[in-house]
Chains A and B, each alone.
Chain A
Amino acid sequence: MNRIVKFYHEMGSPPSFYRITSYWLKPLLLFAIVLTIYGLVEGLFFAPEDYQQGDSYRIIFVHVPAAWMSLFIYAVVGISGIITYVWRMKVAEAVMMASVPIGAMFTIVTLLSGMLWGKPMWGTYWDWDARMTSELILLFLYIGVAGIYSAYEEDPRKAARLAALVAIIGLVNLPIIRYSVNWWTSIHQGASISLLGGSTGIQGWGMLRPLLVMAFATKFYYLYAMLTRAQTYLFKTERKKKWVKQALTDQTGGNT
Chain B
Amino acid sequence: MQFWALLKRDVLVAWRRKSNIYQPLVFQLLIVTMFPLGLGAGAQTLSKIAPAVIWILALLSTLITLENIFKDDYRDGSLDLYVLSGMSLPIAALSKATAHWLTTGVPVVLFAPVIGLLMHLPSHSYAVLLLSLAIATPIFSLLGTVGSALIMNIKNGGMLLSVLIMPLLAPALIFGAGAVLESSLGNSGFGHLMLLLGFAVLTLTLAPLAAGAAIKINLE
Contacts and interface: CB of A to CB of B under 8 A. Distances in A.
Interface of A: 85, 137, 140-141, 143-144, 147-148, 151-152, 158, 161-162, 165-166, 168-170, 172-173, 176-177, 180-181, 183
A141 B104 CA distance: 26
Given A161-B217, A162-B217, A144 B170 contact: no
Secondary structure of the B contact surface, majority rule = helix
Nearest to B199: A176
Interface band, chain B: 20 to 34
Contact of A165 (B166, B167, B214): B214
Interface of B: 146, 150-151, 154, 157, 160, 163-164, 166-168, 170-171, 174-175, 178, 195, 199, 202, 206, 210, 213-214, 217-218, 220
A162 B214 contact: yes
Contacts of A180: 170-171, 174-175, 195, 199
B171 A177 contact: yes
A169 B217 CA distance: 15
A136 to B, nearest CB: 9
Contacts of A173: 167-168, 171
Given A148-B150, A169-B146, A143 B163 contact: yes
A169 B168 contact: yes
17 contacts: A137-B170, A141-B167, A143-B163, A147-B163, A148-B151, A151-B154, A162-B150, A162-B217, A169-B210, A170-B167, A176-B171, A176-B199, A177-B168, A177-B171, A180-B199, A183-B174, A183-B178
Contacts of A152: 154
B170 A177 contact: yes
